[in-house]
Amino acid sequence: MASNAKTCALLSKLSAALASFSLSRPLSTSSAPADASPLASASPMPWEEPVTRARRPFRSKRPRDIASSIFISTIIAAPVYVIDNIRCQERTQKMDKPPILQIGPYPQWDQEPLDATFQVHRYFEAADKEKLLAEVGPSIRAIATRGELGANRAVIEACPKLEVISVYGVGFDAVDLQACRERGIRVTNTPDVLTNDVADLGIAMMLCQSRGMIGAETWVRDGSWAQKGLYPLKRRVWGRRAGVLGLGRIGFEVAKRLKGFDMQIAYSDVEAKPYASDMTFVADPVELAKQSDFLFVTLAASAATRHIVGHKVIEALGPEGMLINISRASNIDEEALLGALETGKLGSAALDVFEGEPKLNPRFLALDNVLLQPHHASGTIETRKAMGQLVRDNLTAHFAGQALPTPVL
């Protein structure tokens, strides 16, 4: 669109210049004086009146004058035609692009193709969001959002023509699914493409917290190594017991990585999984915590899983246990977790998600037995590009009348 605007401006200047040039020059290229015609000097015939300056005979334009006139007129008109054509194309493209509401920002590599394909209204940039919804809501056909932002009932109801919500992320608990069901609105997410990166970070958090790597770096940087000697001893990882609460895509990838540490692996889910025959199934999360030194929370969030990790699970994990959450904050009772960490009833925690993030409870900041991460489990360039592509693929498929690649509803 910006390049088209520049082209129009340039062509307008060219058209004006050519028009000015044509008006400043005579069409004839003859160098003879106006009264130098042979008819002006010849003796008139008896039946003719003498030719004077005040009265000259009609003279047809020469062919070269006519051609010059046509050429200049064409040159002047051409830029105007091109400008009108460009503006017409832009209007057509705008009409062809489905209007969508973008709830939160995306990386530039995702934003540019999204803008090129859809008529994007940026909800997150609006100073008065209610006013924006009142203005564009009636025309919105799709919502592009992020997992932690979702789309609540108020936003959904402000868009009566809404057909699909495409979530940038695997979690969709922030989308009001009931409101979507009531109106037959489709919902998609971006599973699989982020699974391995999330599992990687979960393992990294376990290693980092268990071996005290953040504190160890500080020990070197602040001179403690030179002044105080060796860094305090920490706990090993290999050969110990690991529990995985929720053996879905991410949970299974976590368990696969834990095998490389020769750990005893158990899991809890709604039922035993046929693809996990070499792992121990424990139906009760409390019992799973009792059998674990490290408890990974990898559940999809829902009303049924809210605070599934509460006082009983945390106490069962105990003062030597570590809780690692790479799922959703709502799966853990934060008040119970903070109380256990502050009193030593839970050994430690490694967390990538928080209630009210990014404004997490300040009590976390005062603790030295918790590793805090800024909800970046899927935060690699490769994965984020794949997630953005899948968001667009779902939107494009919907408007093309094709099957959605990754439907939730």
pLDDT of res. 393 = 98
Q: What are phi and psi of 362, to 5 degrees?
A: -60, -15
Q: What confidence score (pLDDT) does residue 36 get?
A: 43
* Res. 3 pLDDT band, cuts 50 70 90: low
User: Over 90: is that where the pLDDT of 51 sits?
Assistant: no
For residue 96, what pLDDT is reported?
84
Catalytic residue from among 375, 384, 392, 398 = 375
Q: How far apart are CA 338 and CA 29, in angstroms?
A: 93
Q: Of the spans 14-18, 301-305, 389-393, which averages the highest pLDDT?
A: 389-393
Please tell me the predicted confidence (pLDDT) of residue 29. Answer: 43
Tell me the pLDDT tens digit for each residue of 103-144. 999 999 999 999 999 999 999 999 999 999 999 999 999 999
- pTM for this model (two decimals): 0.75
| 48 catalytic residue (yes or no) | no
Q: Report which of residues 14 and 313 the model is more confident about.
A: 313
> Which segment of 84-98, 183-197, 234-248, 278-292 scores lowest on mean pLDDT?
84-98
Contacts of 222 (CB under 8 A, 6+ apart): none
Instruction: Please report how many Cα atoms fall inside a 13 Å half-sphere around the Cα of residue 158, on the Cβ side.
Output: 18
pLDDT at 236: 97
How confident is the model at residue 8, as a pLDDT?
A: 59
Residue 300 structure tokens:
């999809």
Residue owning tokens 């540490």? 261
Between 356 and 52, the higher pLDDT residue: 356
Q: Is there a contact between 96 and 116 (Cβ–Cβ < 8 Å)? A: no
Residue 92 has pLDDT above 50, yes or no: no
Comparing 331 with 23, the larger pLDDT belongs to 331
pLDDT at site 278: 96
Distance between CA atoms of residues 361 and 376, nearest Å: 18
pLDDT over threshold 90, residue 66: no
In this prediction, residues 306-323 reach a mean pLDDT of 98
In which band, very low, low, confident or very high, does the pLDDT at 247 lie, cut at 50, 70 and 90? very high
Q: Would the CA dihedral through 260, 265, 270, 274 be positive or negative?
A: positive
pLDDT of residue 62: 60
3-state secondary structure (DSSP) of residue 339: helix
3-state SS, 49-108, equals CCCCCCCCCCCCCCHHHHHHHHHHHHHHHHHHHHHHHHHHHHHHHHHHCCEEEECCCCCH
From 62-76, 288-302, 362-376, 384-398, the region with the lowest mean pLDDT: 62-76
Q: Tell whether the model's pLDDT for residue 363 goes beyond 70.
A: yes
Q: Is the pLDDT of residue 58 over 70?
A: no
pLDDT 10s digits, 175-213: 999 999 999 999 999 999 999 999 999 999 999 999 999
Residue 343 three-state SS: helix
Alpha carbons within 13 A on the beta-carbon side of 347: 20
Taking 80 as the threshold, does the pLDDT of residue 220 lie above it? yes
Query: For residue 24, which amino acid is it?
Result: S
> Tens digit of pLDDT for each residue in 144-181?
999 999 999 999 999 999 999 999 999 999 999 999 99
In terms of DSSP bridges, do strands 294-297 and 322-325 run parallel, antiparallel, or are they unpaired? parallel
Pick the catalytic residue: 121, 328, 384, 392?
328
Asked whether residue 223 carries a pLDDT value surpassing 90, the answer given is: yes
All structural domains of the chain, each given as residue ranges with its CATH number in brackets, are: 99-193+384-399 (3.40.50.720), 195-377 (3.40.50.720)
Q: What is the dihedral of CA 133, 137, 141, 142, to 10 degrees?
A: 10
Kindly name the residue from 130, 357, 376, 382 that is annotated as catalytic.
357
Strand positions, DSSP E, 111-253: 119-122, 142-146, 164-168, 186-188, 241-245
